[in-house]
């Protein structure tokens, strides 16, 4: 079996366990597997950035599939190493069984270990690691981020329109700083465009909900 397909199936299987725990009220199906959907978006984004920026394809795509392999909801409240360190170690174990070279595994380990965080830092990364950092954060800006946020929200309690607007406003304050910290020029360009869209979306959502005069007709 192709190594990319193997990684995809592994991630899907393992993230479903976490998803079932989150959606405890649903026994027949998983309404939304956020971790898998996020990871698949990171892979698609990383593949696009690789096409624009270059780098080692195997390292980039393997890192994208496995960047959150040891992550689960609630980890922020647990003591110990962050999920980047844990996922990097787990990724190295997995790739050793898939005919990846020691050098490729080392590069994947580096990219995953250093993908954590939303703001600028002083870590010197390889091009492959820069692409993974950017790909992970780009999925949190724009239309996909809205779809993911709205889809997972009901798993954590009641959802209201006011709450969605407020969470969106709060997130804009955070993610704006992230966009300015993107590592590659391609990601910076995409990030600025998506941030503009995200800002306009929440402006429009709030205006329509409050039925402000300019948006009362929906035009």
Instruction: Give the model confidence (pLDDT) of 154-187 as tens digits.
Output: 988 899 999 999 999 999 999 999 999 999 999 9
**Mean pLDDT of the 142-155 span:** 94
The CATH class that applies to domain 3-215 reads: mainly alpha
**Mean pLDDT of the 2-20 span:** 94
Q: How many helices (H) and strands (E) does the chain have?
A: 9, 0
Q: Give the whole-angstrom CA distance, residue 64 versus residue 32.
A: 20
**Mean pLDDT of the 33-61 span:** 97
- Give yes or no for residue 211 having a pLDDT over 90: no
Q: Which helix (H) or strand (E) holds 43?
A: helix 34-53
Is residue 89 within 8 Å of 69, Cβ to Cβ? Answer: no
Q: Where are the domains of the chain?
A: 3-215
């Amino acid at each position: 079996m192709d190594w990319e397909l193997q990684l995809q199936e592994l991630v899907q299987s393992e993230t479903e366990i976490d998803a079932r725990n989150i959606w405890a009220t649903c026994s027949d199906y998983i309404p939304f597997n956020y971790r898998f959907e996020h990871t698949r978006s990171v892979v698609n984004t990383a593949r696009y950035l690789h096409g624009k920026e270059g780098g080692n394809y195997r390292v980039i795509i393997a890192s994208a599939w496995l960047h959150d392999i040891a992550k689960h909801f609630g980890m922020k409240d647990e003591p110990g190493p962050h999920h980047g360190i844990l996922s990097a170690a787990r990724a190295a174990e997995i790739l050793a069984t898939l005919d990846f070279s020691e050098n490729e595994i080392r590069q994947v380990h580096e990219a995953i270990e250093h993908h954590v965080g939303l703001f600028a830092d002083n870590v010197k990364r390889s091009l492959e690691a820069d692409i993974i950092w950017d790909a992970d954060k780009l999925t949190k800006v724009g239309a996909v981020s809205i779809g993911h946020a709205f889809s997972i929200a009901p798993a954590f309690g009641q959802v209201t329109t006011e709450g969605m607007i407020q969470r969106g406003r709060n997130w804009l304050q955070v993610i704006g700083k992230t966009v300015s910290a993107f590592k590659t020029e391609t990601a910076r360009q995409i990030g600025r465009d998506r941030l503009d869209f995200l800002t306009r979306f929440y402006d429009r959502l709030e205006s329509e909900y409050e039925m402000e005069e300019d948006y009362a007709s929906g035009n």
